[in-house]
Amino acid sequence: MQKIDWFPDFLGNILNKNRTMKLSFLLLVCALLNVQANSFSQNTKIDLEVENETIQNVLEEIESKSNFTFFYRSGEINEGRTVSLKVRNKPISEILDLIFKGQYVSYSVVKNQIVLKRGGPPIKKIPVQEKISNDLLLDAKIVQQTVTGTIVDNQGIPIPGANVVEKNTTNGTAADFDGNYSLQISGPESILVFTSIGYASQEIPVGVSTTIDVVMREDSQALDEVVVVGYGTQKRRDVTGSVASVSTEDIADIPMTSIEGGIVGRIPGLDVVPSGAGPGASTQIQLRGQRSFTATNDPLIILDGSPYYGTLNDINPYDIESVDVLKDASSTAIYGARGANGVIIITTKRGATGAPRFIFESYGGPIMAYGTIPYANGPQYAEIAREAYRAIGDYPEGGTSAEFDEIIFDEIEIESLRQGGNGLNYQDLLYEHGFQQKHQLTVSGGSEKVKYNFSGSYFQQDGIIPGENFDRYSMRTNLDFTFSPIFSGGASILLNHSYNKRKSSAALFQAFQSSPLGKLYEDDGTPRFTATADGLLLNPLADYIYDSYRWDNKSWGAILNVFGEAKITPDLTYRLNLGTNFKLRTIKESAGFYSLARNLGTATAQVDNTVDNLLLYESILTYNKQFNEKHQLTVTAIQGVQTTRLETSDAGVSDLPYEESRYHNLGSATLVNSVGSNLIETNLLSYAGRIFYGYDSKYLLTLSLRADGASQFSPNHKWGYFPSAAFAYRISDEGFMKSTENWLDDLKLRLSYGVTGNQGISPYQTQGGADRSAYSWNESPGFGYYPTELENRNLKWETTAVYNFGVDFRLFGGRLSGSVDMYNTNTYDLLMFRKLPITSGYDQVLQNVGKTKNKGFELSLNSVNISTEEFSWRTDLTFFRNNTEIDELYNGKVDDIGNRWFIGEPIEVFYDFKKIGIWQQNESAEAASYGQEPGQIKVLDVDNDGAITDADRMVLGSPQPDFVSNITNTFNYKNFDLSFQTYIRWGGMSSIGPFAPFSKKRYNKLVFDYWTPTNPTNNYPRPNQLYEGSGLYGSTLTYRDASLISLRQISLGYRFPASLIEKTPLSGLRLYLSGENLAYWTKSEMRDFNMKPDLTGDVVDGTRTISSYPATRTVILGLNIQF
Amino acid sequence: MKRHINIVLFVVITAIIGSCSSDFLDEEKIVSPPINSYFTTEKGFNDLVNSNYTFTRTLFAGGNNFAPLVFFGTDLWTNGSDGTFIEFNAYNSGIQPANPVLWNLWSPFYQGIAACNAAISRAGAVEEMPESAVNQKVAESYFLRAWYYHILVMHFGGLPLVTEEVTDVVTTATRASEAEVYNQIVQDLLFAEQHLPDTQDEFGRVTRPAAQALLARVYLTLNQNDMAAEYAEKVINDYGFSLLDDYSRLWDVDNRVNSEVIWSIQFSQDERLNGSGNAYFLYFTPRYDLQPGMTRALENDRPWPRFVATRYYFDLLASNRENDSRFAKSWKTAWIANNESTLVGNMQIGDTAFIYVPWDIPDSEEAELEQKYGVFDINDLYDGENPTGSRELFPHMRKYKDPLRPSINSGVGTKNVIEIRLAEMYLIAAEAQMKEGNLPEAVDHINTIRHRAAWPGKEVDMEITEADLDIDFILDERALELGAERLRWADLKRTGKLIERVQLYNTLGRDNVEQKHLLRPIPSNMIDRLTNREEFEQNPGY
């Protein structure tokens, strides 16, 4: 029986990258031979007891007990011959001698593989370290010198399996589990090349040394790095699409509260924007901009092989082994209908053979408000109020008047004015220092049969507003089993529980709004609910004082993925993935009579429950073969089924008799405000295939096709087909590039085209539907049903086609590397709610109409500026720009002003009048012609028709930045490491909407330079008591250039040297100090307001405004212990 | 071999797991009824007709929907301290097709019309009911469709006339003439009149007299005065409606079912039934909470001063207050101290804190009263024709007062709105008879109204004679009786008096109002969505 038996390299266990690489190397040599290989270990001594077993079985037995792998050509040895032997604690050489005693079989041990070959004299012992020649014959060399040493990483941790090769020969070996190696070399002139996946290779002349210890530096850009592509892995060298990766090494030293913190700025094209602030706030991730109006713009997240639709907050960032981001359509087309927004593949850490290894990680530190937002103090507020009345002639011009103060201020405000001083600063009263901490223990290890990686962690965050917390508990278990040489399997189990709570609904809002002339307590100490006599200016601390508000958001998640794998033939592997993703969320809110939310209304309570479940099945068949040394063929076929089921239920009540019951006794309430439940199900059925062909790693071609059927779409359009093609050309391997080989290590050109889809719409949209209507007959229920959705039999996928051109390069021995990508994306058949003439009764119908275009440029550069034994300096830079344009809407090239959609503009824009100043007194006649007066906002009369009409509004800008760039500098000096990350988001527009100045005396406002008859500024209009909100054209005051440069992260670490800890049980100890968002600069004056323009969370009227949550900075002190 | 068998088994089993039945991609929505079969049942059809009522509430859902159109820009109301939608008062360039107020009326009304059309188109397919029962039910839909179209046609003129359920994507529309729209309205109402019952078990459903009352209104608009009088008098005489003795009881929340209501739009204290609620209580409420001794209280409503009576209206209300009780019975002028912390002088909780009155109090008397509480007479409240200062002080028009809301600051009101009541029928009959030349009948109708309005013993003083009667008198009487009941703008337009009266009494709009303002612009959201927008006519001047 002859077989080839190995893991196809892109399906191999990525943690065992060494073996994968070596196998590929060997495969080049052993092309067209049927050889056998299995796993093993070098200096292991073996116990073996066999009775009349075939040699084949004996070899397998050895493989299973050791780390050795046997290779032999079919027919070269008589594997059917039976032997009996009984040995205890013998080295492999002795055992082989016994097995092949008297046979014409020779063997050589190269690194960790044992090659068996017929020929030569009957078996005799040959030195273990051997050179392998191209014809695979055993060219034993005369041993002249032996070099030994230890290979460790920069943390002093051994690198098992690191390779040592004598330069320009194939003589080499691999380090054992403790990082030790021993290699016989040809002489003192030899140069040893040390390599390992994820580390920069090193060349060290041997000279007369007999001991060479090596510290390997991490190198994420190593060409032989393995990246996770859809349904498999691939060598970075062979990748044809646009795939960017962040590995655990890249972010190992960065304290992260969530994954986003680790990837922000590291993946060109990936924009991470906070969608809120405070503990537990989530983020929005966009890859290469927006392209969809109705369907989601969120990338597909694949967590350990199965789609993940939860919040990234629930994943512990320290469990992440790697994050691979598939950007162009040729990479994402294998995900078909879900791939249009890019794919983020998150792989968690898995176990490795060896003794248990423990890592304990712990950090903690304060969260601080960046400053207080400069709201008017008491005297400033009073002066603005007086000016508002002066504007309507109800207050004397110039100076103050006690008589008129009595009229415009209420008793409390008068008293406060009488007392003098600055009044109340509610922000100071409200803000406190928050705190965050995190503790995690990870254990990993395993035997040849079972490998495990387990971690448990606790993360806690207290915000800068009292009562805001986020707690996360998570537990992860990854298991890998090798059942037999044919069958293997594994499981990933992720359990998490998060708990997010608040004790006030609107403290911050009221702190900004309430009059600083208010009063929080009566003189006798009883609390006041309102700050002044005004019923809407509340005591910002009321929720705390009366303990009247609770908001609790708890979620429990379980993600379980299991896989089984069978090697049907040595070339053909079948893999089965089964996954389930379960999430239970319950959100509860209670608001008492004295709560800001209820403002003296009856107590209410609300409970919302959600049960979310996903089931996944996938069959993956992979054929991987190398022909004639140069032809590499990998064929992948996939069948998949995915179902989701979302069940919700909710109840809301009011008039609770006993408020302290919070939300725990809804039944006691007098009134039921709402009761509901719902069920939403979707099914997805998929078939996909992919062919990768590589010629000599020089010409690389990937073709893929996926067919997806989704239940959401109409019966005639359930199925969509998504093809892609990508071609890469390693030009640096061409003969004509010979002259550049001194400085150009690698240059690869990539060109790809692919089509992907977007099915991200709610189900049931094709069917038409009826909604419940509410009415009453003198308090009796008068519910009804009426048609609310038109049947839409033609609904299908949204389709995105992407051209991508990219260049990967590596220069100067790896000192400078990077890649450049340019893309052109066209999205068509956009799922868009086509607005209908309302006379049909339907406001809109979901249709496949409209087109958008995305163009962009992405650059990533990695430079090792200085690299010496003691000091290194590395700079990583990413840069990207993306431009989204609406190309066509449902009516063709016609703007939809109602939705703020304009042809040729990005999807989100700010559309408003343009402020050009303030009407000045010498312009009063002109102002009057517009029905305005001096002191009011002057806006541009775009069409010059002498009137300000809707037609004078224009597109002012969009939140889309001109470019985003991130520069990370990392320094290592002896045991110190220092890194700082500078984040630049340039251009784009933001709105300070929540902080727009109020026109009238009532709500407090930011201190702006406002117009008065004696202060003829063009900045802000005169306060005016006659206008609600921010007054006539007040929204024009809110737009700002959002350009931002921030020092996102600085971290300083110290790794205790081995000499200090070698007497302890520890194998590593690192202390670090890290600060986030310590400083930032904005192009507009937002920094003066302590506002960061990239807090673009609240979506108002189709545009975004900054969050009203103040910017925060954090500092943490952390500890990493390994033992 | 065993190994191969294992592999084969493994693959076969997992392939079976992964294989899917042919209906795997079929979608079943079980959470709501399939519309095509459900509406053929009695229950389903009843639900469909119920839904037709829901959209009547949209007029009251907030201040951005209807109120600026019917209060602003008339002789009775001007803007308070809240300056939003002031353009409808000023008749300035802010009346743009894109103005949200227009869309907020147009859009829900056409959705209401579509819901009515769904019931009307599906009536023939109802299986479980006899034809007469179906007709009686669907007559409600005919009534409501007419009501929706009538309000739209008064404001916008000729309309896209849709009378059947739309089942396919339609992207075009054309405007029918005003006459065609009115013709449809009359036909719908005649159907409703024929099939509706005289009374309904469920209060709030439309009835035969409601259809006749609306017909009277429509005929009056069409200047078909004989028909208007005939229908108004049918309602007056045939169904046992009667004027309440006490005008003030019309506005009491505990008296929502009464003998004067012909049709009222229903709101509810049950949040599940109340939708967005009725927000009108907000907009007529002064900032009473700023006065000494006062704080916000549920019984005083939440202040949001948007609509303030014009000087003309207050003068009209005050001029005959000795005889006419209607000002006193629908306006609140005195507030009771309720805030210990801001009491002044000798004032105690429960004492009168202040009064706002729209007439002159002689200075000597005022000084005496001010010993006890705050006094604001017309000279304090008005500076000539305009409200003073920040326009926050004025008597409180209490027809929308809503003390049953869930909390002081809740904006979701619960109060029913009387859409058609008997007194209006008398006024329609009087106006129609007057125009027909039947002055004695007209005077009788007016005096019926004025008798009820009189203070006890003052009935005779309230009576009028034929000499008093002209269209201005009718309009003034309607202002006294129906002021704030959302009819004013259309009344002025109908009688050709809009421009004249705005020029006379509305200080903000008087210089700007012109002929084009008799129609509102068609909302741009309507036109922008059309594929035949070039053919679709905007109203002139916009």
Q: What is the mean pLDDT of each run of 10 residues along chain B (542 residues)?
A: 62 59 77 85 95 96 89 95 87 85 96 97 92 96 98 97 93 95 98 97 96 98 97 96 95 93 95 91 92 89 93 96 95 93 87 94 92 92 89 93 87 94 97 96 97 96 95 97 95 96 95 95 89 90 86
CB of A778 closer than 8 Å to CB of B256: yes
In B, residues 144-163, which contact A (CB 8 Å cutoff)?
Answer: 160, 162
| Structure tokens that stand for A25 in this block | 């190397």
Distance of CA A952 to the CA centre of its chain: 41
Dist CA A73 CA A133 (whole Å): 16
Cβ–Cβ below 8 Å for A782 and B266: yes
CB of B396 closer than 8 Å to CB of B282: no
pLDDT digits (tens, 9 = 90+) for A722-739: 999 999 999 888 888 888
Pairing of strands A434-446, A450-462: antiparallel
Q: Which residues contact A657 (CB under 8 A, 6 or more apart)?
A: A668, A669, A670
Cβ–Cβ below 8 Å for A777 and B530: no
Stronger pLDDT, A1109 or B149, i.e. the higher one: B149
Dist CA B405 CA B280 (whole Å): 12
Dist CA A720 CA A717 (whole Å): 7
Dist CA A119 CA A104 (whole Å): 5
Residue A135 has pLDDT above 70, yes or no: no
Instruction: Report the residue from B25, B274, B525 with minimal CB separation from A710.
Output: B25
Q: How far is B93 from chain A (nearest CA, A)?
A: 7
Handedness of CA B252, B257, B258, B264 (dihedral sign): positive
Helix (H) or strand (E) holding B401: none
Stronger pLDDT, B52 or A370, i.e. the higher one: B52
CB of A476 closer than 8 Å to CB of A337: no
Cβ–Cβ below 8 Å for B290 and A522: no
pTM over 0.80: no
Stronger pLDDT, A128 or A518, i.e. the higher one: A518
CB of B89 closer than 8 Å to CB of B310: no
| A648: DSSP letter | E
Dist CA A127 CA A111 (whole Å): 12
Stronger pLDDT, A641 or A270, i.e. the higher one: A641
In B, residues 502-541, which contact A (CB 8 Å cutoff)?
Answer: 524-526, 528-531
Q: How far is B204 from chain A (nearest CA, A)?
A: 6
Between helix B422-436 and helix B208-221 the angle, nearest 10°, is 40
Residue B10 at interface with chain A, using a CB cutoff of 8 Å: yes
pLDDT band at A1 (very low <50, low <70, confident <90, very high): very low
Residue A281 has pLDDT above 70, yes or no: yes
| Structure tokens that stand for B317 in this block | 């209300």
The one-letter amino acid code at A418 reads R
Residue A651 has pLDDT above 90, yes or no: yes
Interface test with A, best of B201, B294, B339, B390 (most A CBs within 10 A): B390
Burial of B463 (0-12, 13-18, 19+ CB in 10 A): middle
Q: How far is B68 from chain A (nearest CA, A)?
A: 15
Cβ–Cβ below 8 Å for A782 and B96: no
pLDDT digits (tens, 9 = 90+) for A441-471: 999 888 878 999 999 999 999 989 999 999 9
Provide the terminal-to-terminal Cα distance of chain A, rounded to the nearest Å.
Answer: 45
Cβ–Cβ below 8 Å for B84 and A1028: yes
Work out the average pLDDT over A861-874: 88
Work out the average pLDDT over A590-596: 92
Q: How far is A722 from chain B (nearest CA, A)?
A: 18
Cβ–Cβ below 8 Å for A619 and B32: no
Dist CA A1017 CA B398 (whole Å): 44
Q: Name chain B contacts of A536, Cβ cutoff 8 Å.
A: 409
Handedness of CA B108, B111, B117, B123 (dihedral sign): negative
Dist CA A272 CA A274 (whole Å): 7
Cβ–Cβ below 8 Å for A769 and B32: yes
Helix (H) or strand (E) holding A414: helix A411-419
Residue B107 at interface with chain A, using a CB cutoff of 8 Å: yes
Handedness of CA A526, A528, A529, A535 (dihedral sign): positive
Cβ–Cβ below 8 Å for A1028 and B82: yes
pLDDT digits (tens, 9 = 90+) for A331-343: 888 888 778 888 8
Q: How far is A815 from chain B (nearest CA, A)?
A: 48
Cβ–Cβ below 8 Å for B24 and A767: no
| Structure tokens that stand for B392 in this block | 């926050």
Q: How far is B292 from chain A (nearest CA, A)?
A: 8
Interface test with A, best of B5, B16, B82, B169 (most A CBs within 10 A): B169
| Structure tokens that stand for A363 in this block | 């950090």
Work out the average pLDDT over A846-863: 90
Cβ–Cβ below 8 Å for A535 and B96: no
Residue B404 at interface with chain A, using a CB cutoff of 8 Å: no
Residue B12 at interface with chain A, using a CB cutoff of 8 Å: no
Q: Which residues contact A419 (CB under 8 A, 6 or more apart)?
A: none
The reported pLDDT for the residue numbered A128 is 37
Q: Name chain B contacts of A3, Cβ cutoff 8 Å.
A: none
Residue A1095 has pLDDT above 70, yes or no: no
CB of B223 closer than 8 Å to CB of B202: no
Nearest CA in chain A to B38: A785
Ramachandran angles phi, psi of A1074, nearest 5°:
-140, 145
Please report, for residues A146, A147, A173, A960, the alpha-carbon distance to residue A208 in angstroms, rounded to integers and kept in the order given.
Answer: 10, 9, 19, 61
Q: Name chain A contacts of B295, Cβ cutoff 8 Å.
A: 530, 533, 535
Work out the average pLDDT over A618-629: 88
Residue B465 at interface with chain A, using a CB cutoff of 8 Å: no
CB of B143 closer than 8 Å to CB of B188: yes
pLDDT band at A275 (very low <50, low <70, confident <90, very high): low
SS (H, E, C) A481-535: EECCCCEEEEEEEEEEEEEEEECCCCHHHHHHHCCCCCCCECCCCCECCECCCCC
Cβ–Cβ below 8 Å for A840 and B52: no
As a whole-number percent, the residues of chain A with pLDDT over 70 amount to 88
Residue A282 has pLDDT above 80, yes or no: no
Instruction: Report the residue from B25, B165, B292 with minimal CB separation from A711.
Output: B25
Q: Name chain B contacts of A486, Cβ cutoff 8 Å.
A: 3, 6-7
Interface test with A, best of B1, B153, B285, B528 (most A CBs within 10 A): B528
CB of B286 closer than 8 Å to CB of B396: yes
Instruction: Report the residue from B29, B53, B160 with minimal CB separation from A767.
Output: B29
CB of A595 closer than 8 Å to CB of A573: no
Q: Which residue, among B201, B199, B237, B234, has the nearest Cα to B215 in the 3D structure?
A: B234
The reported pLDDT for the residue numbered A118 is 64
Nearest CA in chain B to A616: B18
Dist CA A251 CA A230 (whole Å): 23
Count H helices and E strands in chain A, helices first: 14, 57
Dist CA A1028 CA A1036 (whole Å): 15
| B139: DSSP letter | H
Q: Which residues pair with A105 in a beta bridge?
A: A118
Interface test with B, best of A523, A783, A839, A998 (most B CBs within 10 A): A839
Residue A1099 has pLDDT above 60, yes or no: no
Dist CA B524 CA B542 (whole Å): 10
Q: Which residues contact A335 (CB under 8 A, 6 or more apart)?
A: A230, A300, A302, A326, A343, A706, A756
Residue A17 has pLDDT above 50, yes or no: no
Locate the DSSP E strands across B268-314. Answer: 307-309
The reported pLDDT for the residue numbered A26 is 36
Dist CA B128 CA A786 (whole Å): 19
| Average pLDDT across chain A, whole number | 82
Dist CA A983 CA A980 (whole Å): 10
Residue A178 has pLDDT above 80, yes or no: no
Angle at CA B387, nearest 5°, toward B385 and B388? 115
The ipTM (two decimal places) reads: 0.93
**What 3-state class would DSSP assign to A472?**
strand
| Structure tokens that stand for B495 in this block | 């009688």
Phi-psi region of A1067 (alpha: psi -120 to 50; beta: other; left: phi over 0): alpha
pLDDT digits (tens, 9 = 90+) for A514-530: 999 999 998 888 999 98
The reported pLDDT for the residue numbered A1101 is 46
| Structure tokens that stand for A138 in this block | 């055993």
| Structure tokens that stand for A651 in this block | 């109840």
CA dihedral A621→A624→A625→A630, nearest 10 degrees, is: 140
CA dihedral A1059→A1060→A1063→A1068, nearest 10 degrees, is: -90
Interface test with B, best of A413, A779, A889, A890 (most B CBs within 10 A): A779
Q: Which residue, among A830, A955, A929, A814, has the nearest Cα to A889 in the 3D structure?
A: A830
Q: How far is A489 from chain B (nearest CA, A)?
A: 12
> Chain A to chain B, count of Cβ pairs less than 8 Å apart?
306
Please report, for residues A5, A132, A484, A623, the alpha-carbon distance to residue A32 in angstroms, rounded to integers and kept in the order given.
Answer: 14, 17, 25, 15
| Structure tokens that stand for B92 in this block | 């300035």
Instruction: Report the residue from A411, A671, A768 with minimal CB separation from B342.
Output: A411
Interface test with A, best of B163, B273, B282 (most A CBs within 10 A): B273
Q: In this structure, which long-range contacts are made by residues A493-496, counting pairs with CB atoms below 8 Å and at least 24 apart in sequence?
A: A493/A558, A493/A559, A493/A560, A493/A561, A494/A303, A494/A304, A494/A315, A494/A319, A494/A348, A494/A557, A494/A558, A494/A559, A494/A560, A495/A557, A495/A558, A495/A559, A496/A314, A496/A315, A496/A316, A496/A472, A496/A555, A496/A556, A496/A557
Cβ–Cβ below 8 Å for B24 and A683: yes
